[in-house]
A and B are shown apart, each in its own frame.
Chain A
Amino acid sequence: MSETKHHTKGPIISIRQMNKYYGDFHALTDINLEISIGERMVICGPSGSGKSTLIRCLNRLEAHQSGSVNINGVELHQRMKDIDKVRSEVGMVFQHFNLFPHMTVLENCTAGPMWVNKVPPEDAHNIAMKYLERVNIPEQADKYPAQLSGGQQQRVAIARSLCMHPKVMLFDEPTSALDPEMVSEVLDTMTDLAQSGMTMIVVTHEMGFAKKVADRVVFMDEGRIVESNEPIAFFENPQSDRTKKFLSQVLVH
């Protein structure tokens, strides 16, 4: 793989002809995708369609086997030296939060800035409090994650990522592990974030969120991108049969 560096202004993420295998299983096939700065993209599809795998390839929590993934001008590959720098610029929110249970909410948020960006403790504290206020839980700063509800934990996880001042935020099914009554508080936080101009890629089943927030909706099935369109066109005039079937199953409720 060549170590070419592009410094184009348009797309912050570009994926070309990417393929991913788990052993013999072909998880992702010929993925081509570009995300430009400020774009909000929602990826949906049935379970096992490869949407989580795709988003995890974007900060190389998973390795791709062929094609190229380019994040903000840096090509991701196996022998790269500065993956930590790329990762610190790409925020990620997980389905199961992955907060550090032995650290307080505040420590969770200051850890990244202090340990990676070498921000002085006082400044890190201020950054953390700023984003905890932004996700509306500054009063929980001294508690431990286990003392918080699922929705609060997920909002802490969002704040923790934001403290790194990421250029892109990746959301991997952020509301799937939540009790129903907590979904909306997390979606509200994400909507806020979208309105502030953050570049976001969101894997989710929340079609309401997609309609309201997304600039583009991507539908995946069996490891391929089947359809990609603006939300209005995507929901009202789906092109492929698989998309129609999926939407009919998701939107019944």
Chain B
Amino acid sequence: MIQDTVTEDIIMRKPKFIAFLFTTIFICFFIFDPSQSIVGHLLEPALGDPEKSGFYGRCVTASMSAVLLVLNLLAISWIPNFRLQVITVWLQLLILFLSFFYSFDLSFEFIRSKIWFMVTQGIFTTLYVSAISIVIASFIAIIGAVAKMSSNGFAYAIASFYTSFFRGLPLLMQVYLIYLGFPQIGYVIDAVPAGIIALSLCYGAYMTEIFRAGIMSIDHGQWEGSRALGFKFGLIMRKIILPQSIPLIIPPTGNQFIAMLKDSSLVSVIGVWELMFLARTLGNKTFNHMEMLITAAMLYWMMTMVLELIQSRIERKYKKQQSR
């Protein structure tokens, strides 16, 4: 997006908007009744026991919460620096979420005892299953994209049937079909290969469309220029078209990889010892379900953040190359 050089008035400076904001927040808080919450407890000296303060207490706590929130928003709007503003809001949201988790009364001792195993076994499996799958999916996608653009009816039919089938079935079902279906025709297949096959085929189908769009977006003059020099199809594809479409393909492919990282949790149903599987099984014995689920959630989130960072690095590198 290109920013306009003329900016509008800051919305948090408009009294009308602040009044509207306050009212909305107040109504929301009033409905959810915050008198039992932290705010209610903080106001205990003034209101007495939160449980007995009734309608009056509800009004006061709701309005106090609304005032605090609006003041906070006002304070953020006064931060002059864009980066600082972003960091502040991020920290506040993070603290909010963490305190939400904290309120579950989790056993950190239990988390500490299991986290190393979750990282070495769970994250490791999740990462390598996803990485192998995305590589295979990319190969499938190139072939699928070329087949979908070809004038050969057979190739087009196979490719379109493939994309239609694997985009049309839930991934979970594909995992089951491959893991339980292959033994029916005499091939007993291990859980990890079955998971990799399912993820590759499913994401290959989605990425076929990404690659096709990337290839189609290259100017047809590039085809003509290469053909006029006497290049054959494979050469044009490898040396001229694909290198130019890769910068266009990388952002959506990065997206797919991040999505796959999380969808790989579906292969836990066939007993692959990845993050999700461990999260479900480790907590079972001692009923520490919440601990393990939240730990796994945090680990997934952290992996995703690292990947987003890597993706933006790669994108920047290609952008630099283009503007050479």
Which A residues have a C-beta under 8 Å from some C-beta of B?
Answer: 59, 61, 84-92, 94, 96-102, 111-112, 115-116, 144, 146-147, 160-161, 164
Q: Is B54 an interface residue (CB 8 A)?
A: no
| With known contacts A98-B224, A115-B239, A164–B244 Cβ distance under 8 A | no
Minimal Cβ-Cβ distance residue in B for A116: B230
In Å, the complex CA distance between A161 and B243 comes to 22
CB distance from B171 to the nearest CB of A (A): 35
| With known contacts A102-B243, A144-B324, A94–B231 Cβ distance under 8 A | no
| With known contacts A96-B221, A111-B239, A115-B235, A87–B244 Cβ distance under 8 A | no
Contact, CB under 8 Å: B230 / A85: yes
Chain A residues lying within 8 Å of B37, measured Cβ to Cβ, are none
Q: Is B52 an interface residue (CB 8 A)?
A: no
Chain B residues lying within 8 Å of A94, measured Cβ to Cβ, are 221, 224-225, 228
CB distance from B247 to the nearest CB of A (A): 9
Contact, CB under 8 Å: B243 / A92: no
Closest 4 CB pairs of A and B: A88-B230, A98-B225, A92-B228, A98-B221
Q: Is B13 an interface residue (CB 8 A)?
A: no
In Å, the complex CA distance between A51 and B27 comes to 73
In Å, the complex CA distance between A116 and B231 comes to 7
Contact, CB under 8 Å: B231 / A84: yes
CB distance from A69 to the nearest CB of B (A): 15
A-B contact count (CB 8 A): 63
Chain B residues lying within 8 Å of A86, measured Cβ to Cβ, are 230
Contact, CB under 8 Å: A99 / B225: yes
Contact, CB under 8 Å: A111 / B324: no
Contact, CB under 8 Å: B224 / A100: no
Which among B230, B239, B240 is the interface contact of A87 at CB below 8 angstroms?
Answer: B230
- B residues 197-231 in Cβ contact with A at 8 Å: 219, 221-222, 224-231
Q: Is B16 an interface residue (CB 8 A)?
A: no
Contact, CB under 8 Å: B231 / A115: yes
| With known contacts A101-B244, A102-B243, A147-B324, A61–B224 Cβ distance under 8 A | yes
Contact, CB under 8 Å: A112 / B243: no
Contact, CB under 8 Å: B225 / A112: no
In Å, the complex CA distance between A88 and B189 comes to 51
Minimal Cβ-Cβ distance residue in B for A62: B224
Minimal Cβ-Cβ distance residue in A for B244: A102
Chain A residues lying within 8 Å of B321, measured Cβ to Cβ, are 102
In Å, the complex CA distance between A30 and B20 comes to 77
Minimal Cβ-Cβ distance residue in A for B218: A101
| With known contacts A100-B240, A101-B244, A102-B243, A116–B229 Cβ distance under 8 A | yes
- B residues 156-196 in Cβ contact with A at 8 Å: none
Chain A residues lying within 8 Å of B221, measured Cβ to Cβ, are 94, 96-98
Chain B residues lying within 8 Å of A112, measured Cβ to Cβ, are 229-231
CB distance from B227 to the nearest CB of A (A): 6
CB distance from A167 to the nearest CB of B (A): 13
- Told that A98-B219, A100-B225 touch, could you supply 20 new A-B pairs with CB distance under 8 A? A61-B224, A85-B230, A87-B227, A88-B229, A89-B230, A91-B228, A92-B228, A97-B221, A97-B225, A98-B222, A98-B224, A100-B240, A102-B244, A115-B235, A115-B239, A116-B230, A116-B231, A146-B324, A160-B229, A161-B228
Q: Is B112 an interface residue (CB 8 A)?
A: no
Chain A residues lying within 8 Å of B230, measured Cβ to Cβ, are 84-89, 112, 116, 164
In Å, the complex CA distance between A226 and B321 comes to 49
Which among B222, B228, B231, B244 is the interface contact of A61 at CB below 8 angstroms?
Answer: B228
Chain A residues lying within 8 Å of B226, measured Cβ to Cβ, are 100
CB distance from B141 to the nearest CB of A (A): 20
Chain B residues lying within 8 Å of A146, measured Cβ to Cβ, are 323-324
Minimal Cβ-Cβ distance residue in A for B225: A98
Minimal Cβ-Cβ distance residue in B for A89: B230
CB distance from A55 to the nearest CB of B (A): 11
- Of B219, B226, B323, which is in contact with the most chain A CB atoms at under 10 Å from its CB? B226
CB distance from A152 to the nearest CB of B (A): 15
Q: Is B232 an interface residue (CB 8 A)?
A: yes
In Å, the complex CA distance between A67 and B184 comes to 59
Chain A residues lying within 8 Å of B243, measured Cβ to Cβ, are 102
In Å, the complex CA distance between A88 and B246 comes to 27
In Å, the complex CA distance between A146 and B321 comes to 11
In Å, the complex CA distance between A102 and B324 comes to 10
Chain A residues lying within 8 Å of B229, measured Cβ to Cβ, are 87-88, 111-112, 116, 160-161, 164
